[in-house]
Structure 1
Amino acid sequence: MTDHQEHTVTGQLVPSSRQPDNRITHLHRQWAERHGVEAADRLASAEQLADAVAEQLVPQNTVDTYDKSWRVWQRFCSTQGFPETEGSRGALVAFVLWMLREGRGSTGYAPTSASTHLAGAVVRLRKAGIEVTKDDAGEARERLKKLATELKRHGERRGRGQAPAAHLDGVRQIAVTCDSSLTGLRDRALVLLSFHIAGRASEPAGLLATDIVAHERGLRVSVVVGKTELSVREVAVPYANVTVACPVRAYLAWRAALEATDPRFTKPDDPAFHTIDRWGHVGGAMSPDAVTATIARAAERAGIPIRWTGHSLRSGLATASRAKGKDALVIAAQGGWVPNSKSMMGYMRRADEWDDNASAGLA
């Protein structure tokens, strides 16, 4: 079996430098006995192709999370004297305890972060051909849940919690306080469009000009950098009744002003949103972090007392839509959520908890 194959992924030849893992080596021996060495080589190459395709289809932010989780696992193994290449039941439970007690040095991780790192470490162990059974990984997750409950019971709160949901008054206030400079036009368009598509910060960051098409009733937005299959979606954004807070007018005004500064911004593959420095110089596409920072600054400038993030606009759309009586399926389609998504339903409960309340009106 060859150690280096070239695989065709999304129309490109992608050389694979991966050494065949234990699973493929074992399969190769079985195939060679049944079908001969030449056929076994082809089947093993197909296995590596399947792995390469799977790797390319994993979103970059997920890859980054796995990398970070693996570094946390390596640090745990180094400080506790565990081998990195063993994912036993005891090692995983010890990993959970270590993360909650001292994983960040003098303090422990928040349970949500610990859960992410546990999942990432398990994925990486399995990708390396190391057996981690479902029962062992499941027990570590259950121990984490119970330990997290104990932390709450003892009054310990960790992590930032959920991003505060944006509200309509705040979104409109941001729109009003954005000035007519190129930066102000961009900020207004970014906040309003992100809110109306329920966008994660990575989604407006990944939009190209050609992904946003004017329609007589608004804009058609092709969100192509979604985190999941459902979040890659087509979103219709209608004109709003309040002119200053209209996402359609705001986006068209931003693009018209941008394109007037330089013909190169008229190209279809131009980023929908650009970085702009303090001197007004236009740069390349905004990163997700730049989108989050811009939203936070715009909210602070508008006098919103709680720091908003990119996710505030996403959760805010679900909350505000629910408060207006929109159906859950319509909200899910707009934001690319799975119908009855746990996270989406959590956002919507914020809108329901006062009006649809068991004790409301009883006294």
Structure 2
Amino acid sequence: MDDPDAPSDLQILAPAMPPPLPGASPAIVARWFDAAAETTPPTSDGSLAGDHAAADAFRRLATATNTRSAYRSAVRAWCAWCQVHGRPALPANAADVAAFLAGERARGLAAPTLVLRRAALRYLHRAAGLATPTDDPRVAETVAGITRAAAAAGEMPRKVAAATDVLLRQILAPIPDDLRGLRDRALLLVGFAGALRRSEIAAIAVERLEPTERGLVLTLPQSKGSQAEAVRIPLPYGTTELCPVRAITRWRAAAAIEAGPLFRRLWAPGPARPGGLPPLPRVGTAPLSAQSVGDIVQARAAAAGFDPAAFGGHSLKRGALTTGMSQGAHPAQLKRLGRHKRFDTLGEYLEFGDIFDGHPLKGTL
């Protein structure tokens, strides 16, 4: 689905909607936050009000789009809870926030989801210029108790399987050389070679692929690990069927893509004419969504005989880093490839295989 129409210049220049008055109905708070969480950088008209509006917009843009989307869902849930129980949504009472989180846990929500919801309520109050109730000891201890209870119950964060080079070859094997197959093969190999997240794969534009003697250099305007500056990612020429450059070349030639989004939606062809060849799918103009990228990874894994529920968009990134680790790459190189700020974050992406093979005391005991 295409993005909604861009706002007009008048909308862009309009001052940000003021926060609702204390005690406003939860429905009004939810509508205000939906509008406040989504914004584009305005072009100020030079007035003081315009400059203030621009500053407000840039502050909201400091939080990633996906995070703001998750916050909107969390605030809607909070406002619905307040509506049911007749409690104020803004400003919130710390005891109510703790009760809300406890109730959501009792309804089966995972501990990480509740940590995110607490962060969303902190963001809501800061956006409204109010004191944050989420730092109150009652809230902090409730979240700590939920996290401890989840760990005691054996709940572990779900991690998708790492699509290592060995698994990736198996996933690629049954993919045909039709138009859809060429697109999906290129998508999988680019995601693997660049250790890319699904949103980064979806956002690739042809104009950001720079040919060099050793491969392509992909420029990402932003990445999760580098919000403030662009990053350059090498996609090397390879000598095997895992070469991302040849896969891109074949896909672009078949789809006649000269500019714009690299990975696009394919529309089903119309009915075949009597006696004629089956028509080819039509190549769209809009990029795939991040969700579509994850769906493609799962579908291709299923076609190769794997459980699709074990795979997802992050499988390519985890697979690349795990493969690099198994080949003896230095942790600093892996950190750079994965664009992680810290080594502990990198560790979350690595799959260490047999825990006995890697035991530090192997051969000593």
Report the TM-score, using the length of structure 1 for normalisation: 0.79
Q: What is the CA-CA distance between 1:289 and the residue it aligns to?
A: 1.0
Following the alignment from structure 1 to structure 2, what is the Cα–Cα distance between the partners of residues 346 and 91?
A: 34
Corresponding position: 1:323 with 2:333: no
Following the alignment from structure 1 to structure 2, what is the Cα–Cα distance between the partners of residues 44 and 351?
A: 57
2:19–2:128 contact (8 Å) kept in structure 1 = no
Q: What is the CA-CA distance between 1:273 and the residue it aligns to?
A: 0.6
Q: What is the CA-CA distance between 1:62 and the residue it aligns to?
A: 2.1
Q: What is the CA-CA distance between 1:57 and the residue it aligns to?
A: 4.6
Following the alignment from structure 2 to structure 1, what is the Cα–Cα distance between the partners of residues 361 and 13?
A: 61
Following the alignment from structure 1 to structure 2, what is the Cα–Cα distance between the partners of residues 47 and 354?
A: 59
- Unaligned 5+ runs, structure 1: 1-8, 23-41, 103-107, 260-264
Following the alignment from structure 2 to structure 1, what is the Cα–Cα distance between the partners of residues 59 and 187?
A: 32
The 1:60/1:353 distance shift into structure 2, 3 A limit, reads: same
Following the alignment from structure 2 to structure 1, what is the Cα–Cα distance between the partners of residues 20 and 294?
A: 39
Greater CA drift, 310-319 or 146-155: 146-155
Equivalent position to 2:262, from 267, 272, 283: 272
Following the alignment from structure 1 to structure 2, what is the Cα–Cα distance between the partners of residues 251 and 44?
A: 47
2:16–2:53 contact (8 Å) kept in structure 1 = no
Q: What is the CA-CA distance between 1:21 and the residue it aligns to?
A: 8.6
Structure with greater helix share of residues? 1
Equivalent position to 2:209, from 200, 212, 221: 212
The 1:18/1:228 distance shift into structure 2, 3 A limit, reads: farther
Corresponding position: 1:150 with 2:152: no
The 1:358/1:82 distance shift into structure 2, 3 A limit, reads: farther
The 1:13/1:90 distance shift into structure 2, 3 A limit, reads: closer
Amino acid at match of 1:318: L
Equivalent pairs counted in the alignment come to 318
Following the alignment from structure 2 to structure 1, what is the Cα–Cα distance between the partners of residues 148 and 352?
A: 22
Greater CA drift, 248-257 or 351-360: 351-360
Following the alignment from structure 2 to structure 1, what is the Cα–Cα distance between the partners of residues 213 and 138?
A: 55
Query: What is the CA deviation profile of residues 154-195 of structure 1, one whole-angstrom value per residue up to 9, with x for unaligned ones?
Result: 45x48x712222221111122222211111111100001011
Report the TM-score, using the length of structure 2 for normalisation: 0.78
2:111–2:147 contact (8 Å) kept in structure 1 = yes
Equivalent position to 1:289, from 277, 291, 309: 291
2:210–2:218 contact (8 Å) kept in structure 1 = yes
1:5 corresponds to: none
Equivalent position to 2:189, from 179, 192, 196: 192
Q: What is the CA-CA distance between 1:18 and the residue it aligns to?
A: 2.0
1:167 corresponds to: 164
Amino acid at match of 1:221: L
Corresponding position: 1:85 with 2:90: yes
1:37 corresponds to: none
Corresponding position: 1:65 with 2:70: yes
Q: What is the CA-CA distance between 1:225 and the residue it aligns to?
A: 4.4
Following the alignment from structure 1 to structure 2, what is the Cα–Cα distance between the partners of residues 206 and 70?
A: 27
1:178–1:298 contact (8 Å) kept in structure 2 = yes
Tell me how large the CA RMSD over aligned residues is.
2.8
Secondary structure of 2:348's partner?
A: helix
Residue identity (%): 26
Following the alignment from structure 1 to structure 2, what is the Cα–Cα distance between the partners of residues 348 and 203?
A: 19
Q: What is the CA-CA distance between 1:61 and the residue it aligns to?
A: 1.6
Following the alignment from structure 2 to structure 1, what is the Cα–Cα distance between the partners of residues 355 and 48?
A: 56
Amino acid at match of 1:75: A
2:318–2:351 contact (8 Å) kept in structure 1 = no
Greater CA drift, 342-351 or 74-83: 342-351
The 1:14/1:177 distance shift into structure 2, 3 A limit, reads: farther
Query: What is the CA deviation profile of residues 1-55 of structure 1, one whole-angstrom value per residue up to 9, with x for unaligned ones?
Result: xxxxxxxx9xx96322422799xxxxxxxxxxxxxxxxxxx77764443212222
Following the alignment from structure 1 to structure 2, what is the Cα–Cα distance between the partners of residues 148 and 271?
A: 41
Q: What is the CA-CA distance between 1:201 and the residue it aligns to?
A: 0.9
1:115–1:141 contact (8 Å) kept in structure 2 = no
Query: What is the CA deviation profile of residues 249-300 of structure 1, one whole-angstrom value per residue up to 9, with x for unaligned ones?
Result: 11111112111xxxxx32x3x1111111343221221111111111111111
1:196–1:247 contact (8 Å) kept in structure 2 = yes
- Unaligned 5+ runs, structure 2: 1-8, 22-46, 270-280
2:116 corresponds to: 116
The 1:201/1:53 distance shift into structure 2, 3 A limit, reads: same
The 1:351/1:145 distance shift into structure 2, 3 A limit, reads: farther
Q: What is the CA-CA distance between 1:308 and the residue it aligns to?
A: 1.3
